[in-house]
Amino acid sequence: MARTAEKQKKRRRKVRSAPKSVKTAPPAGSKKSIDLYYWPTPNGWKITIMLEECPLPYRMIPVDISKGDQFKPHFLAISPNNRMPAIVDYDGPNGKPISIFESGAILQYLGRKTGKFYPQDERSRVEVDQWLFWQMANLGPKAGEANHFRNYAPEQLPYAIKRFSNEMNRIYGVMNRRLEDREFLAGKYSIADIACIGWASRAERHGHDLSAFADVRRWLETVLARPAVKRGLSVKVEAAFRVDLKDPKVRAVLFNQRAR
Ligand SMILES: N[C@@H](CCC(=O)N[C@@H](CS)C(=O)NCC(=O)O)C(=O)O
């Protein structure tokens, strides 16, 4: 018990010292550029797309989540939830470095920083926020679970597969209705759309049938035609092609996480 408390104390000390670790991070390409901690997944693409759209100079630092890079102290100091994406902006508020984790918070920050894809007018901003949070709480996590139970679970659990497939169907139904009378989720193209692209672009591959959702498909065609979206989706990491999710070592890293 005492040892666990001591361990937790140590961990809290480490997290509090985050700004120091950020400053001692590997030297950035340019003092004014952004370091993006990244792995090529739908959550990572949100940020490559946004950085390409703005555009902002950035250096991509791979976080090999199949090998446990997300648990390295240097990364945890930036992203305490051991998830990528995360960024360090060396030209943050008052010209000082700032680190940010959680893709939604990163998108909002970059939107405020550049004044792009995130309107300042309160009504329009609320529209964007609602659909951004909708993505963060619905489309992303449910697609992740649907994909997990369908493709990665060691046993086929019909209840879990059906539960998350139904959720995905419900979610794309909500998105379709929203897009019936507007081009983009919040009217104009925004960070809310950017948050959804990676997941929606993989929907069919993940086994979700979009044939009943004509407006989602029309929206998807429109966003995928944007040059910055194409560039964002094609930021590759060579090692990611070699990850085998059947490898017990990889599965132990990704699918057996408990409090550390
Ligand atoms: N809510 C987080 C989710 C990020 C997330 O789940 N990232 C995954 C890859 S898509 C990850 O880093 N996984 C590492 C792990 O499971 O340890 C965000 O939007 O930033």
Q: Whose CA is nearest to atom 19 of ligand 1?
A: 103
Give the ligand 1 atom nearest the CA of 253. 17
| pLDDT mean across residues, the chain | 91
CA 2 – ligand 1 centroid, Å: 31
Which of 46, 82, 83, 145 is the pocket-test mutation for ligand 1 (most atoms within 8 Å of CB)?
Answer: 83
Helix axes 42-53, 103-114, angle to 10 degrees: 0
230-251 residue pLDDT tens: 999 999 999 999 999 999 999 9
Tokens encoding 203: 């929907």
Least confident of 4-18, 100-114, 120-134: 4-18
CA 83 – ligand 1 centroid, Å: 4
Which of 46, 69, 84 is the pocket-test mutation for ligand 1 (most atoms within 8 Å of CB)?
Answer: 84
* Secondary structure element (H or E) that encloses residue 89, with its range: strand 86-89
Peptide bond into 19 cis (omega under 30): no
- Between 173 and 26, the higher pLDDT residue: 173
CA 195 – ligand 1 centroid, Å: 13
Average pLDDT estimate for 184-213: 95
36-66 residue pLDDT tens: 999 999 999 999 999 999 999 999 999 999 9
The pLDDT value given to residue 31: 57
Ligand 1 binding pocket includes 70 (Cβ within 6 Å): yes
**Helix ranges (DSSP H) in 182-244:** 191-201, 214-224, 227-233
Q: Model-level pTM greater than 0.75?
A: yes
The pLDDT value given to residue 32: 75
152-173 residue pLDDT tens: 999 999 999 999 999 999 999 9
- Between 26 and 207, the higher pLDDT residue: 207
The pLDDT value given to residue 6: 52
Give the ligand 1 atom nearest the CA of 106. 20
